[in-house]
Every structure is written in structure tokens, then in C-alpha cells.
Amino acid sequence: MRIAVFASDTDHSQLKKRELEKLIIEKGLTLDNQTPETVITIGGDGTLLSAFHRFVHRLDRIRFIGIHTGHLGFYTDWRDFELEELVDSLLEIVSHSVSYPLLEIKVTYCDDQEPKHFLALNECVIRRVTGTMRADVYIKDELFEQFRGDGLSVSTPTGSTAYNKSVGGAVLHPSVNALQLAEIASINNRVYRTLGSPLVIGQEEWIAIAVNELGQHMLSIDHLVMAEENVEKISYRVAQERIHFGGYRHNHFWTRVKDAFIK
């Protein structure tokens, strides 16, 4: 088995990375940062997001395993004192994989730029840099609403506990193959009227946000933030690709939600 270890920058994570790599070599497994079959992250959920984008071009061939060094994460279910146990049961962990939906994003421009394609594990957020954002929201090519406000977030089920939750979105179980659109500070008055609540679409549908003015928009895809000129439209759908996690530990989603937000 070819394994890549991907750690956050903290001294502690880097120390654990060296420990883990040593164990991997001792067990006769192979370290490979270019074409791994298993990617083990050490850090937080943000570390797993970075690893996801690093290996996004070969998701179908990778099982991710997250080790957390701080608080319990949504993508990290091993503790940093369990390295030995993890390496010993690696074959079993990767043979019990689970997969979760991803968000497919296509950005088109009103100048001659080529469209851009992205995949997100958590979400994509669009905002305008100066002033409020005005956009037409389409569902399955039909105009649904005219939005004015700070911005719009489209998230995956596993991303629903991240930014989406902070803007009042619902928490979605990752077995639901869907995406969620959530408003960020919409203006609702006699001129502008939006649904005013998050909405969830399934895999047969798609959402498009057609922006109504030129200028810069901030587009964030997971932890990556880009300033984009001349955006015309962003289209979203449930991606064909999925992320695969190794291990049975990833099942207790509602326990995780309770531990993170209630208890």
C-alpha cells in the first residue's frame, strides 16, 4: 500500500508525522507523496481540506484517513495517540470505506476567459467585494429568485456543519446525496424578495447564480479564496466524483454533531 502523510504546520503535527512515517516504514508499507492509495492527514478538518485539494485529480483511487491533534473534527476521527493501532489495522480500515458527496462548480465569465471547474468538499461561497451582491438564482434553468445581500453559500452534506451552519443552514446527514443553498444576509423588502430560508436540492437538479454586475467577486472554495473579475454565472450540482474515507469510525455523524455543538 502506498501512503502519503499530510500534516498541518504546527510542531506537534510535524512531530506526529515523523512518528507515523517511521511506523509505516517499519511495517513494510510504502511512503508515496505523488500517487498514494491512502492519504493520512494530521491536524484538523482544515488539514483534510488541504489534502483533498492536493489530491483532487485522483479521488477515485484514494482513501482518506484523518487524525486530529486538537478537538474532534468532522473529517478526522483518529486521535494522535492511536498511531500504532491505526497502522496495524490499516488494511482493514481501507477495506471498510465510506464515500460522501462533493460539490461540482463551474464558473463562466462574460469576457473571453475559459470557464473554470472546481470540486469542493465543504462549500463554495460567492460575495461581492464592494457593495451588496445582486444575482439571479436559477434552479434547473428556471429563474427562482432575485437575490440582493452579502452573498450565497452552496454546501455539501459534510460541509453543512461548517460555514453553512454559521449562516443558518441545516445540518444534513452525509448519506443524503444533495446540496444546500444558504443566503448570507439577504435584503428582503418590497423590491427584493428571496425565499429567506436554506434550500436543498437533489442530484437530478442544479443551481446557477447569475451575477448582475461587473467588478470583483470573492469566490471561496473550501479554504481557498479567489478574487474573480467578470464572473457571469456559477453553476452547482452534486458531483459525479465522491470522497472516500477509510474506516468504520466515520459512521457516528449525529454523535459528532452533538459533541461539536451541544455538549
User: How crowded is residue 252: how many other Cβ atoms within 10 Å of its Cβ?
Assistant: 12
Stretch that binds ligand NAP, among 11-19, 45-53, 97-105, 203-211 (CB under 6 A): 45-53
- Nearest Cα neighbor of 153 from 188, 102, 198 is 198
Spacing of C-alpha 154 from chain mean position: 10
On whether the CB atoms of residues 154 and 119 are closer than 8 A, the answer is: no
Q: How far is the CB of 158 from ligand NAP (least distance, A)?
A: 5
On whether the CB atoms of residues 247 and 39 are closer than 8 A, the answer is: no
Find where cell 464558473 sits. 107
Q: What would the x/- binding string for ligand NAP be over residues 173 to 202, using CB under 6 A?
A: ------------------------------
- Expressed in angstroms, the distance from the first to the final Cα of the chain is 38
Q: How far is the CB of 122 from ligand NAP (least distance, A)?
A: 4
* Distances from the Cα of 103 to the Cα of 24, 82, 158, 159, 242, angstroms: 33, 32, 10, 10, 9
Point out the catalytic residue in the list 32, 45, 141, 222: 45
Which one of Mn ion, ligand NAP, none interacts with residue 74, CB within 5 to 8 A by kind? ligand NAP
Which one of Mn ion, ligand NAP, none interacts with residue 163, CB within 5 to 8 A by kind? ligand NAP
When the beta carbons of 44 and 151 are compared against ligand NAP, the nearer one is 44
When the beta carbons of 44 and 149 are compared against Mn ion, the nearer one is 44
Respond yes or no: is residue 259 known to be catalytic: no
On whether the CB atoms of residues 245 and 65 are closer than 8 A, the answer is: yes
Q: How many residues does the chain have?
A: 263
On whether the CB atoms of residues 210 and 194 are closer than 8 A, the answer is: no
Q: Is 240 in the site for ligand NAP (CB under 6 A)?
A: no
d(CA 250, CA 75): 8
Exposed, middle or buried: residue 86 (CB in 10 Å: 0-12, 13-18, 19+)? buried
Q: Is 13 in the site for ligand NAP (CB under 6 A)?
A: no
Stretch that binds ligand NAP, among 19-27, 28-36, 43-51, 180-188 (CB under 6 A): 43-51
Q: What would the x/- binding string for ligand NAP be over residues 56 to 95, using CB under 6 A?
A: -----------------xx---------------------
The response to whether 108 counts as a known ligand-binding position is no
Q: How far is the CB of 235 from ligand NAP (least distance, A)?
A: 20
d(CA 91, CA 236): 35
Q: What would the x/- binding string for Mn ion be over residues 37 to 56, using CB under 5 A?
A: -------x-x----------
Which residues here bind Mn ion, judged by CB under 5 A? 44, 46
Residue numbering of the annotated binding site for NAD(+): 45-46, 122-123, 148, 150, 161-166, 185
Q: Which residues have a catalytic role annotated? A: 45
